[in-house]
C-alpha cells in the first residue's frame, strides 16, 4: 500500500509538471485515500489544487499536511503563499 501511495504521489508531481492539474489532483486524492497519515500526500493535493486555481481548498489541504508535519519547510512556504480566509 505504501508503495502504491508513493507511485501516486510521484505521478501527481509529474502531471503537475506537465501542466495537467486536474489529473494531478485525481492522483493526489487517491494517494491521500491510500496514505491519509502521510503529509506528502496532502502536500501533493494542495499543490494540485493551487495549480487548478482553487486556493482556499489548497490552503485547507496544506493545513492538513502541516498537522502531520508542522515543521515542513515546503508546506510552511505554501501556507504563506496561499491567501487565508476572508476577514469580516
Provide the CB-side half-sphere exposure for 47 (13 A, CA). Answer: 26
Model pLDDT for residues 51-78, shown as the tens digit of each residue: 999 999 999 999 999 999 999 999 999 9
Distance CA 39, CA 36 (A): 8
d(C-alpha 24, C-alpha 54), whole Å: 13
**In this model, does residue 25 exceed pLDDT 90?**
yes
Residue carrying C-alpha cell 495549480: 51
Q: What is the pTM of this model?
A: 0.92
Amino acid at each position: 500500500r505504501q508503495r502504491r501511495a508513493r507511485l501516486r504521489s510521484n505521478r501527481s508531481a509529474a502531471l503537475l509538471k506537465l501542466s495537467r492539474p486536474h489529473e494531478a489532483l485525481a492522483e493526489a486524492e487517491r494517494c491521500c485515500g491510500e496514505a491519509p497519515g502521510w503529509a506528502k500526500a496532502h502536500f501533493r493535493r494542495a499543490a494540485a489544487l493551487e495549480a487548478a486555481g482553487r486556493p482556499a481548498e489548497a490552503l485547507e489541504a496544506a493545513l492538513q499536511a502541516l498537522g502531520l508535519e508542522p515543521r515542513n519547510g515546503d508546506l510552511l512556504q505554501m501556507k504563506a503563499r496561499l491567501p487565508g480566509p476572508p476577514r469580516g
